[in-house]
Amino acid sequence: MNKIETISLHIGHIVNVEITPSVEQAIRLARQAIEAGQTKVAAVRMIYPAIANLPRELIWYAIIHGANLSSRGAVTYYYNMRRKPLRK
C-alpha cells in the first residue's frame, strides 16, 4: 500500500502526493549519488528518466527529498530536466 504525504510548494499550495515504490527508489538513488559526492543536478539527472512519466508533484517530491532541495529548487530542476533531460 502506498503512503500519502504532503509537500508545501513555494507558491503557497499544499499538495497531497501518493508515494509509490518508484518514487521511493528514486529518492534512495538520488541520496546515494549525493553521498557518493555527485552534485544535486547529477543526482536529479540520474533519477529523472525513471520518474519522468509520473505527475509533476510526485517528481517534485522525489527531487525535494532525494536531492535535498527546496520546493522552489525542485520546480526549477524539474522544468530544466523536462526541457533538456540529457544536457551535461
End-to-end CA distance of the chain: 37
Q: How far apart are CA 15 and CA 34, in angstroms?
A: 26
Query: How many residues in total does the chain contain?
Result: 88
Task: Show me where the domains of the chain are located.
Answer: 3-83
Q: At what angle do helices 56-67 and 71-83 cross, to 10 degrees?
A: 120
Q: Residue 8: pLDDT above 70?
A: no
Helices vs. strands in the chain: H and E counts, helices first = 4, 2
pLDDT one-digit tens code per residue, 24-46: 999 999 999 999 999 999 999 99
Q: Residue 9: pLDDT above 70?
A: no
Q: How high is the pLDDT of residue 84?
A: 75
Average pLDDT, the chain: 87
